[in-house]
Homo-oligomer: A and B are copies of this chain.
Amino acid sequence: MNVHHNIYKNELLNHVLPFWEAHSIDQTHGGYFTCLDREGKVYDTDKFAWLQGRQIWTFSTMYKQVEAKQEWLDMARHGADFMKKHGRDKLGNWYFSFNRNGSPLVQPYNIFSDCFAAMGFGALYKIDQQDEYADIATKTFQNILHKRNNPKGIYNKAYPETRPLKNFALPMILCNLSLEMEHLLDKRIVDDLIEEVIHEVMDIFYQEESGLILENVAPDGSFVNSFEGRSINPGHTIEAMWFIMDLGKRLHNKKLIERAIEIALHTLKTGWDTENGGIFYFLDVKNSPMQQLEWDQKLWWVHIETLVCLAKAYELTANEECKKWFKIVHEYTWKHFRDEEYGEWFGYLNREGKVLIPAKGGKWKGCFHIPRGLLQVYKTLEKIEEKQLKTIKF
């Protein structure tokens, strides 16, 4: 690659993590503020379970993989304390959101609150072996597996049986979560789960005809001609493909890796806005009008996850097309999302690449995709550079 890993590492350490360290800690009531404007000022004090869990994960992982800095351990513990105290209902389900002092605002209707709590506490346990952290992570994980066939529970508004649908997001997240939680789980459970979620993602949600992954399918994987059934989320697919590559690496399954790369490249080309650059948020597999009014917007996580996917793909296979696309996406992403002035990156651009919402965080964007992506890309580029150095030496 011509892009050096130091660019990513420097951005992570000097422009992104410091933003969250400076602005996100609620010293009074605990937990993290995530509603931060462009400069880092708190514009809303509500707290969201997804983003609390994810920030615990981010700082735990930086401590583990980058440097054992006391501040990062403290930051992770700070969020964990808040979540331990306020996060769950009596049955151990994680609420979706809280007011500033931790009273629940929105019921536990969303299973991804549980997923990111498990991920956060699982990562924290890696750097701070407190039984309580392991216990919260594993109990939450068991609860996820228990609820997975009806994740919304009593909040599910679908009328039973008229049109059963299953959604891609949970199996996708489980591809990643199974590896994130491996140190806490029985090997057999992990092995079985991995086999199952790979099958779900690569066979059930993958649609032969279009070569794309659908966001919602019938239980047997067949196509359902409705708004939900026609929906494609390119960023989701591409992110899932690097989760699958990680699993392929663990299983020494070269064929699986190559298939993931093929799907990722095809999705990227399908989702690329040839007029303005960037990757669309949603598409319709039949090119029908969409219900998502935000379909043509360019989102931070879509672009950084694509960079992770392409870097990993190139590292594992030296596929030249991945290298070419990495450069294209790198250029677009750094030019449009990065904020030279105040740190962190913008989240939401309009189709033309102009900033649509100038905040650095909110209800859905926190300290997660940008730092995780920068970490993954820098570590991957580093490996590629080491390999190239070795090649030159011999």
Contacts and interface: CB of A to CB of B under 8 A. Distances in A.
Interface in A61-112: 95-96, 99, 103-107, 109
What is the copy number of this chain in the assembly? 2
Interface residues of A, number: 43
Given A44-B227, A107-B158, A163 B99 contact: yes
Interface in A184-235: 225-227
Contacts of A296: 350, 356
Contacts of A293: 293-294, 297, 348, 356-357
Interface in A274-325: 286, 288-291, 293-297
A225 B44 contact: yes
A337 to B, nearest CB: 15
A288 B43 contact: yes
A394 interface: no
A227 B48 CA distance: 13
A85 to B, nearest CB: 15
Contacts of A286: 43
- Dominant SS at the A interface? loop
Contacts of A99: 162-163
B158 A363 contact: no
A107 B43 contact: no
Contacts of A288: 37, 43-44
Nearest to A155: B157
A5 interface: no
B289 A43 contact: yes
A363 to B, nearest CB: 5
Contacts of A105: 158-159, 162-163
Contact of A109 (B46, B106, B157, B297): B157
Given A227-B44, A359-B289, A95 B297 contact: no
A289 B37 contact: yes
A389 interface: no
Interface in A146-168: 154-155, 157-159, 162-163
Contact of A290 (B155, B157, B357): B357
A236 interface: no
Query: Of A37, A158, A286, which is in contact with the most chain B CB atoms at under 10 Å from its CB?
Result: A158
A162 B289 contact: no
A162 B44 contact: no
A226 B46 contact: yes
A358 interface: yes
A357 B289 contact: yes
A105 B161 CA distance: 9
A146 B154 CA distance: 22
A184 B189 CA distance: 63
A307 B77 CA distance: 56
A46 B158 CA distance: 14
A362 interface: yes
A54 interface: no
A351 interface: yes
A286 to B, nearest CB: 8
Nearest to A364: B291
22 contacts: A37-B289, A43-B288, A44-B225, A44-B226, A44-B288, A46-B226, A95-B159, A96-B157, A105-B158, A106-B157, A107-B159, A109-B157, A154-B154, A155-B157, A227-B363, A289-B357, A289-B362, A294-B294, A295-B357, A296-B356, A350-B350, A350-B351
Given A107-B159, A154-B154, 10 more contacts: A37-B288, A103-B159, A107-B157, A227-B363, A289-B362, A293-B293, A293-B297, A293-B348, A293-B357, A296-B356
